[in-house]
Amino acid sequence: MTTELRHGYCALCISRCGCVGTLEDGILTRVDADPEHPTGQALCVKAKAAAEAVYAPDRVLHPLRRTRPKGEADPGWERISWDTALDLVAGKMRAAITQAPRLLAFGVATPSGTAVADSFAWIHRLAHACHSPNLVFATENCNWHKDFAPAYTFGAGIGMPDYEHTGCILLWGFNPATSWLAQATAVQQARKRGARLIVVDPRRAGLAAAADLWLRPHPGSDGTLALGLAHLLIESGRYDDTFLTRWSDAPFLVAEDDGHLLTGADLSADGDSEQRVVWNEATGTMQLCPSRPPNAATETRLALRGRYTVQILRGEVICRPVFERLVERCRAWPSTRVAAVTGIPAEQVEAAANLIAENLPLSFFTWTGTCQHSNATQNGRAIAALYGLTGCLDAPGGNVWFSKPPVADVMGFDWVSPEERALTLGRDERPQGPPQKGWITSRDLFRAVVEGEPYPISCLISFGSNFLLSKPNTRLSEAALKQLDFFALTELVETPTARYADLLLPVCSAWEREGLQAGFQVSAAAEARVQLRPAFVPPQGESRSDTWIVFELAKRLGLADQFFGGDPEAALAEMLAPAGLTPEALRAAPGGITLALETRYRKYEQNGFATPSGRLELHNERLRGVGLDPLPDYVASGVPNEPRFPLTLTTAKWPQYCHSQQRNQPSLRRRMPDPLVEIHPEAAGAHGISDGDWLQVTTSIGGMRARAKLDRHLAPDVVCAQYGWWQYADGAGDANRLIDGECFDPVAGSNSLRNFPCQIARLLPA
């Protein structure tokens, strides 16, 4: 027997853990952690089950065309050749584009919870080369809130906690022990060094049990906690007023009557409407803001507080600095009121503020716990404002934007013209949200398919994603998938969504293809690593990578010129060139190459923040411009409540599975054979439910079965369900059939997946 080791990384989720595969006579037999790798300290059970995933008997191994009507249980798959399949897809795409590119929509699975990250940029490039303004993925319930929404305040994404130097870590609706192992490892290392840890989570999940402080908010109430913590820091003067004065919009004056930021144009007819106005405490006068980053303001006598009556062109107005207005918002949330809404004892809120203030620098991470809500944007803005007060952004030990390998951006966003982009579904309703980038929600896509509003969409080409299980409002998804004129899906297995496809194209798993990771996200050292993951084994059957499929389609559509002559190898070389790397060099270094990237802190001192004012913005004029609240605030979820649904349904992820995947892998399934619902023993007792019993969860939209898992750490009125199960004919374990897709965040379109009124009932054994 020949044994061979291959260095790579697990591509199954965003952690991208460094690993080593073992091949015995060319067969993948195991995958182990690679401690030499910056993300290789640990591997989860999903990576360890890699061999099972590769050799799973239910893999789709050939291109398949349906022969029976949609909606029938059996699509009557007919095996066809790749040439026939690709010609068919390209023909349908061309027909749609010729009529109008907007008729053609693209889909892609989540790059954070699948390996489609390997092809994510090329899929975007194809959509953009086709001039399609519409691409659906999970962003509004997923990465938007960490990668893009923080830009309202920070001018960029959330950054990454500088775990090596941080004093206090705040994990807010983020459970890395399940969802991002490399971050969990980094938190634990920081703890060993003495860093403090605060976890905000309705469940005592993962690292919460070992935290200095675990705060248990009622789902969806996070915004009040952020404002309440900000209030405590402000009230006690424990915030960085020098940072706020010099580097944030805190001193900018806002007119009380209409809420706009005063500018030079308010002061004189030829004044600069980009220049903001401040109150100078030294002179006791209003003046134009003396500096704009990067010309660092040395002024510290700009007023952050107070109320001023000033003369502007249109007359006398009362105005206050942005900070004063934020202070007012925060003052509305004393700890006792926070306690009343969140259920967190006031003393714990105060203890958290003290822990933060006494252990700076603070770093934080938040993800789906705060983002899958109909008030997600405001929750996130409140947390970002709280963080802004500490002055730790991009400072050592704070949330830092580490240097990234300078690979080329190949997504082709600018190929879609502003006129074409104006057609993006949901753009009129949510111009400051994901539609800016052409990312649409399934609700908007499926309404366009079913109702033809605002225009019909007839053709969907999706690279993975199991819409029927991962999106709320299952009925609409089903109706739309049935109604599409043409739906092609690239997949590993025949999911419920795949059963509605006209054409099912087999993709190989990440273990069977190369993949590029330019920077691993967890630290400065990890960010400097570029790795070209080798295929551990050849593709099973006729399966191919999504990248190969994209390039084959591009060639057939006459887009070869935009795809490097249709040659993925040339494309890869082009992508790597700015980093001074080549595919050959990376292949010769399978564990990856570490670039000499330098960590620069407080980059705003050179460049300003990437906001319109160049400063951290607590007040967002663009949001105001589209009729939204320019300041963070707490807004109640708006999900209709009825007495018959007294409990609150939330959802979370589990180590064994990503979303709707992996239930077909016996070693994982053995660890979690059936869907679970976590409930408090009191709630269980009230309904005669014991641990392990099947129970029914019901909402105004629908119901599902799952097994009770009693958890005394939950609030008695909170129920945490799973989603993504499709192994039961009656929909057991599919929480999304219980959630109304019409409750969503006005800016981002995020769904209320974490806060929905429900009731439970015991199910008698069948």
Ligand X SMILES: Nc1nc2c(c(=O)[nH]1)N[C@H]1C(S)=C(S)[C@@H](COP(=O)(O)OP(=O)(O)OC[C@H]3O[C@@H](n4cnc5c(=O)[nH]c(N)nc54)[C@H](O)[C@@H]3O)O[C@H]1N2
Q: Which of 150, 173, 433, 515 binds ligand X (CB under 6 A)?
A: 173
User: Which of the choices ligand X, Mo ion, ligand SF4, none does residue 618 contact, using the CB cut-off of 5 to 8 A by kind?
Assistant: none
| Contact flag: residue 522 with ligand SF4 (CB under 6 A) | no
Please report how close the Cβ of residue 21 comes to ligand SF4 at its closest, in angstroms: 12
The stretch among 30-38, 58-66, 212-220, 606-614 that binds ligand X (CB under 6 A) is 212-220
Beta carbons of 379 and 229 less than 8 angstroms apart? no
| Contact flag: residue 672 with ligand SF4 (CB under 6 A) | no
- Of 133 and 369, the one with the shorter C-beta distance to Mo ion is 369
What single-letter DSSP state applies at residue 79?
Answer: E
Estimate the crossing angle of helix 546-556 against helix 120-129, to 10 degrees: 20
Contact residues for Mo ion (CB under 5 A)? Answer: 110, 112, 142
Indicate the residue type of 193.
Answer: R
Please report how close the Cβ of residue 700 comes to ligand X at its closest, in angstroms: 16
Give dist(CA 363, CA 479) in Å, integer.
Answer: 44
Beta-strand relationship, 196-200 and 168-172: parallel
The stretch among 22-30, 58-66, 85-93, 464-472 that binds ligand X (CB under 6 A) is 464-472
The stretch among 15-23, 316-324, 587-595, 756-764 that binds ligand SF4 (CB under 6 A) is 15-23
- Of 143 and 245, the one with the shorter C-beta distance to ligand X is 143
Give dist(CA 484, CA 477) in Å, integer.
Answer: 11
| Contact flag: residue 224 with ligand SF4 (CB under 6 A) | no
Q: Which two tokens stand for residue 26?
A: 């060319």
Indicate the residue type of 49.
Answer: A
Q: Which of 43, 103, 530, 571 binds ligand SF4 (CB under 6 A)?
A: 43
| Contact flag: residue 736 with ligand X (CB under 6 A) | yes
The stretch among 173-181, 333-341, 436-444, 572-580 that binds ligand X (CB under 6 A) is 173-181
- Of 12 and 64, the one with the shorter C-beta distance to ligand SF4 is 12
Please report how close the Cβ of residue 689 comes to ligand X at its closest, in angstroms: 20
At 719, give phi and psi (nearest 5°).
-125, 125
Beta-carbon contacts of residue 141 (< 8 Å; ≥ 6 apart) = 368, 371, 372, 750, 751, 753
User: Which of the choices ligand X, ligand SF4, Mo ion, none does residue 252 contact, using the CB cut-off of 5 to 8 A by kind?
Assistant: none
Q: Which two tokens stand for residue 31?
A: 């995958």
- Of 379 and 661, the one with the shorter C-beta distance to ligand SF4 is 661
User: Which of the choices Mo ion, ligand SF4, ligand X, none does residue 43 contact, using the CB cut-off of 5 to 8 A by kind?
Assistant: ligand SF4
Residue of this chain nearest to Mo ion (CB atom): 142
DSSP H or E stretch at residue 131: none
Query: Shortest CA distance to 511 belongs to which of 120, 36, 19?
Result: 19
Cis preceding-peptide flag for 716 (omega within 30 of 0)? no
Q: How far is CA 599 from CA 162, 391, 525, 605, in A?
A: 11, 18, 9, 14
Please report how close the Cβ of residue 195 comes to ligand SF4 at its closest, in angstroms: 22
| Contact flag: residue 106 with ligand X (CB under 6 A) | no
User: Which of the choices ligand X, Mo ion, ligand SF4, none does residue 10 contact, using the CB cut-off of 5 to 8 A by kind?
Assistant: ligand SF4
| Contact flag: residue 184 with ligand SF4 (CB under 6 A) | no
Strand arrangement of the beta sheet that strand 362-366 belongs to = 213-215, 196-200, 168-172, 362-366
CA 244 to chain centre: 28
3-state helix, strand, coil split of the chain in percent (to 5) is 35, 20, 45
Beta-carbon contacts of residue 736 (< 8 Å; ≥ 6 apart) = 469, 470, 471, 472, 473, 474, 723, 753
The stretch among 228-236, 562-570, 637-645, 647-655 that binds ligand X (CB under 6 A) is 647-655
Please report how close the Cβ of residue 481 comes to Mo ion at its closest, in angstroms: 21
Q: Which of 7, 17, 289, 665 binds ligand SF4 (CB under 6 A)?
A: 17
Residue 482 Ramachandran class (φ > 0 left, ψ -120 to 50 alpha, else beta): alpha
- Of 150 and 361, the one with the shorter C-beta distance to Mo ion is 150
Cis preceding-peptide flag for 361 (omega within 30 of 0)? yes
Q: Which of 516, 537, 557, 753 binds ligand X (CB under 6 A)?
A: 753
At 519, give phi and psi (nearest 5°).
100, 125
The stretch among 25-33, 84-92, 460-468, 527-535 that binds ligand X (CB under 6 A) is 460-468
Indicate the residue type of 625.
Answer: G
How many CB atoms are closer than 10 A to CB 320?
20
Beta-carbon contacts of residue 243 (< 8 Å; ≥ 6 apart) = 391
Q: Which of 6, 8, 13, 152 binds ligand SF4 (CB under 6 A)?
A: 13
Beta carbons of 539 and 507 less than 8 angstroms apart? no
Q: Which two tokens stand for residue 187?
A: 């938190």
DSSP strands (E only) in 93-189:
104-108, 135-136, 160-161, 168-172
Please report how close the Cβ of residue 56 comes to ligand X at its closest, in angstroms: 10
| Contact flag: residue 655 with ligand X (CB under 6 A) | yes
| Contact flag: residue 359 with ligand SF4 (CB under 6 A) | no
At 611, give phi and psi (nearest 5°).
-100, 165
At 622, give phi and psi (nearest 5°).
-65, -40
Please report how close the Cβ of residue 89 comes to ligand SF4 at its closest, in angstroms: 30
The stretch among 26-34, 174-182, 601-609, 666-674 that binds ligand X (CB under 6 A) is 174-182
| Contact flag: residue 50 with ligand SF4 (CB under 6 A) | no
| Contact flag: residue 458 with ligand X (CB under 6 A) | no
Query: Shortest CA distance to 41 belongs to which of 202, 208, 230, 187?
Result: 187
User: Taken in order 66, 68, 71, 74, is the CA torsion positive or negative?
Assistant: negative
- Of 110 and 263, the one with the shorter C-beta distance to Mo ion is 110
Please report how close the Cβ of residue 608 comes to ligand X at its closest, in angstroms: 30
The stretch among 12-20, 204-212, 662-670, 685-693 that binds ligand SF4 (CB under 6 A) is 12-20
Which residues of the chain form contacts with ligand SF4 (CB under 6 A)? 10, 12-13, 15-17, 43-44, 46-47, 181
Residues that bind ligand X (CB under 6 A): 13-14, 109-110, 112-116, 138, 141-142, 172-175, 178-180, 200-203, 205, 217, 219-220, 222, 367-370, 372, 463-466, 469-470, 490-493, 495, 507, 546, 650-653, 655, 657-661, 723-724, 735-736, 753-755
